[in-house]
């Protein structure tokens, strides 16, 4: 029976118990150092992600430029048709542009392209 009591109060069991209590109390409080380490890990992970987004940014620019080119080209075709007084052809052209919803596509692309910068700039102002 005393062997059981000795095993409960042996130095290794007592050390493990004390370490468990110490670690539990330590984890119960979130210190400034731990906050700084967590913030640094978060910043490091974001910095590691930036190069992964470079192909996406390139694709975003290519899509934005190609649709912008089409939008501007369609606008100038409409202007030329108006000045040439080809109103029937202009009506058909406007109907074709309406079928493809070119204006909505262009608004979506402009919003998609510029919203990230606007959101990030407003986030920065709130934190200051």
Give the pLDDT confidence of 45-74 residue by residue, as tens digits: 888 877 877 777 788 788 888 888 988 998
78 close to 94: Cβ distance less than 8 angstroms: yes
Question: C-alpha distances in angstroms, 58 versus 8, 53, 65, 94?
Answer: 65, 9, 11, 31
CA gap 99, 1 in Å, rounded: 91
Is the pLDDT score of 91 beyond 70? yes
- Please compute the mean of the pLDDT values over residues 25-32 and round it to a whole number: 72
Average pLDDT, the chain: 79
Residue 4, pLDDT score: 65
Q: Which of 51-65, 76-90, 96-110 shows the lowest per-residue confidence on average (mean pLDDT)?
A: 51-65
Is the pLDDT score of 126 beyond 80? no
Residue 104, pLDDT score: 86
Is the pLDDT score of 127 beyond 70? no
81 close to 90: Cβ distance less than 8 angstroms: yes
Residue 54, pLDDT score: 76
Domain ranges of the chain: 12-115
112 close to 63: Cβ distance less than 8 angstroms: no
- Please compute the mean of the pLDDT values over residues 8-34 and round it to a whole number: 73
* Residues in the chain, total: 128
């Amino acid at each position: 029976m005393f062997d059981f009591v000795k095993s409960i109060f042996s130095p290794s069991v007592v050390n493990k118990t004390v370490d468990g209590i110490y670690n539990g109390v330590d984890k119960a409080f979130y210190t400034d150092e731990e906050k700084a380490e967590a913030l640094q890990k978060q910043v490091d992970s974001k910095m590691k992600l930036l190069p992964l987004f470079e192909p996406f940014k390139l694709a975003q620019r290519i899509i934005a430029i190609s649709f912008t080119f089409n939008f501007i080209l369609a606008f100038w075709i409409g202007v030329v048709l108006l000045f040439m007084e080809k109103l029937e052809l202009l009506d058909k052209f406007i109907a074709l542009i309406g079928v493809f919803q070119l204006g909505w596509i262009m608004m979506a692309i402009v919003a998609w392209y510029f919203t990230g910068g606007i959101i990030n700039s407003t986030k920065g102002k709130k934190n200051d």
